[in-house]
Amino acid sequence: MTLAVHFINGPNLNRLGTREPQVYGIQTLADIENMIREVGTADITFRQSNVEGELVNFIHAAADAGAAIVINPAAYTHTSVALHDALKSVDVPSVEIHLSQPAKRETFRQRSLVAEAVTGTISGFGAQSYILGLHAAVNLLKARKR
């Protein structure tokens, strides 16, 4: 049985590696994608956009493919009713992930509009948050298939 997981990355994550490395680490998004593909537990689709509506389309595409969603909505975490609604509109497991721990950061990062619409959240483990997100998504898919 093929388990499919779609990774959806929001704004500015294409700049990982050079973007505030003290907060987000030195790995690029391509490094993280390679790390995820090496795990080999699921068929991986890995996407990034700086455009909110494109992220909505990626969520719909994941659902249409019957794939679990692992999403780092980046700054849209804290502002996007559209992403909240998109995640609520689909019937596949979804995991919100963050490299940093927003709860320890500025006040404006301490509210996630996405958290209210996903299955669960993993944050604060750097690039490992992506691996943990993959494990969570695969486990959720397996539980549904039983």
Residue 74 is a binding residue for ligand DQA (CB under 6 A): yes
Residue 121 is a binding residue for ligand DQA (CB under 6 A): no
3-class SS at 128? helix
Residue 102 is a binding residue for ligand DQA (CB under 6 A): yes
Residue closest to 113 by CA, chosen among 121, 105, 124, 104 = 121
24 carries an active-site annotation:
yes
The piece of 54-62, 81-89, 95-103, 135-143 that touches ligand DQA (CB under 6 A) is 95-103
98 carries an active-site annotation:
yes
Asked whether 70 and 8 are in contact (CB, 8 A), the reply is yes
68-72 and 94-98: which strand pairing? parallel
To ligand DQA, the closest distance from the beta carbon of 126 in angstroms equals 9
